[in-house]
Amino acid sequence: MIHPFISGNKWRKLKYILLEAKEHQKKHLVTFGGAYSNHLIATACAAAKFGFNSTGIVRGENVENETLLLCRLFGMQLIFEDRESYRDKSLLFKKHFHKNQEAFFIDEGGSGSLAAKGCSELIDELPDVYDHLFCAAGTGTTAAGILSGINRKALSTKMHVVPVLKGADFLKNGIDNLTNGAFFEFHTDYHFGGYAKTSDALLNFIKDFTSSTGILIDPVYTGKLLYAIYDLISKDYFAPESRILAVHTGGITGILGMAERFKF
Ligand SMILES: *Cc1c(COP(=O)(O)O)cnc(C)c1O
């Protein structure tokens, strides 16, 4: 609800990063992502809105899709780099921008402690107290920020993290590092085969949820998050009358990348 394209957690993750860019008089945001990256759209739109130029360095071969169309409409220049070169992001930044004093490096997904700080502010805006708070995790930065916010305010709310990718141990370590090892529940059974992998069960869940609530969710993040919560409810995981908060992290354009998977 924060903004249609600088969606959900991406606004919060970019807030302090963009303030830092302004402070250092940088005028050109340079960031990284896959061809369906919500972070690229958010950065492109934020750049346009707050008076920066922007470049997105995209993983893989030159393609066109709805995500990249939106990025270009927001004025972002796109550079495609093969998967091997894409790994070394600071090298790529040097290669393309070493002569450009106005360029500002933003890591893939806007990860790091500034991004986590922005996300922690979500806790200050909650209208109520909840027993459980659930959040989907890609890099885990958003979850780490929220968890820090819970601890800063000494809330009794229990944090639950649903990784959307397989083999998410590195993700747990990342959250531990950003929160000094604060406690959270880690639900690793809801990745549906890995990042951006899906199944008929997940797509059917999304159809049912969306048509019965009017709330759009996506197959990559929030669909898996809500599937997890409903599954845990069906297994009596929660005490009766528990108050559960699901953080909708945005990213609903993700549905466009899977249009052909839906059958009606
Ligand atoms: C980027 C994104 C996430 C993942 O955030 P992390 O901080 O990388 O864990 C979750 N949900 C949506 C919709 C996103 O676009």
Mutate to test the pocket of ligand 1, among 117, 249, 258 (most ligand atoms within 8 A of CB): 249
CA of 129 to the centre of ligand 1 (A): 23
Q: What is the pTM of this model?
A: 0.96
Strand residues in 185-249 grouped as ranges (E): 185-186, 244-246
User: CA 137 to CA 220: how far, in whole Å?
Assistant: 10
Which has more confidence, 31 or 257? 31
Q: Please name the helix (run of DSSP H) or strand (run of DSSP E) that holds residue 29, with its range, or none.
A: strand 28-33
Residue 221 Cβ contacting ligand 1 at under 6 Å: yes
Average pLDDT, the chain: 96
And the tokens for 156? 């009794």
Q: Please name the helix (run of DSSP H) or strand (run of DSSP E) that holds residue 115, with its range, or none.
A: helix 113-120
Cα torsion at 204, 239, 249, 175 (round to 10°)?
Answer: -120
Residue 109 Cβ contacting ligand 1 at under 6 Å: yes
Q: How confident is the model at residue 111 (pLDDT cuts 50, 70, 90)?
A: confident
- Ligand 1 atom closest to Cα of residue 142: 7
Q: How confident is the model at residue 7 (pLDDT cuts 50, 70, 90)?
A: confident
Cα torsion at 108, 113, 115, 117 (round to 10°)?
Answer: 170
User: What pLDDT, in 10s, does the model give residues 220-242?
Assistant: 999 999 999 999 999 999 999 99
Predicted confidence (pLDDT) at residue 253 exceeds the cutoff of 90: no
Predicted confidence (pLDDT) at residue 104 exceeds the cutoff of 90: yes
Distances (CA, A) of 59 to 97, 167, 168, 215: 17, 21, 21, 30
Predicted confidence (pLDDT) at residue 171 exceeds the cutoff of 90: yes
What is the layout of strands, in order, in the sheet containing 28-33? 77-81, 53-59, 28-33, 103-105
Residue 134 Cβ contacting ligand 1 at under 6 Å: no
Q: Which CATH architecture has domain 9-110?
A: 3-Layer(aba) Sandwich (3.40)
pLDDT given at position 177: 95
Predicted confidence (pLDDT) at residue 26 exceeds the cutoff of 90: yes
Residue 174 Cβ contacting ligand 1 at under 6 Å: no
Task: Work out the angle at residue 222's Cα, subtended by the Cα atoms of residues 218 and 224, and round it to the nearest 5 degrees.
Answer: 95
Give the domain ranges of the chain: 9-110, 128-261
The protein residue with its alpha carbon nearest to ligand 1, atom 15, reads 251
User: CA 244 to CA 185: how far, in whole Å?
Assistant: 14
And the tokens for 10? 């991406």
Q: Please name the helix (run of DSSP H) or strand (run of DSSP E) that holds residue 30, with its range, or none.
A: strand 28-33
- Ligand 1 atom closest to Cα of residue 39: 1
pLDDT given at position 239: 98
The reply to whether domains 9-110 and 128-261 share a CATH topology is: yes
**CATH classification (class only), 128-261:** alpha beta
CA of 134 to the centre of ligand 1 (A): 13
The protein residue with its alpha carbon nearest to ligand 1, atom 4, reads 138
User: CA 134 to CA 226: how far, in whole Å?
Assistant: 9
Residue 251 Cβ contacting ligand 1 at under 6 Å: yes
CA of 99 to the centre of ligand 1 (A): 32
User: CA 121 to CA 124: how far, in whole Å?
Assistant: 5
Q: Please name the helix (run of DSSP H) or strand (run of DSSP E) that holds residue 163, with its range, or none.
A: strand 158-163
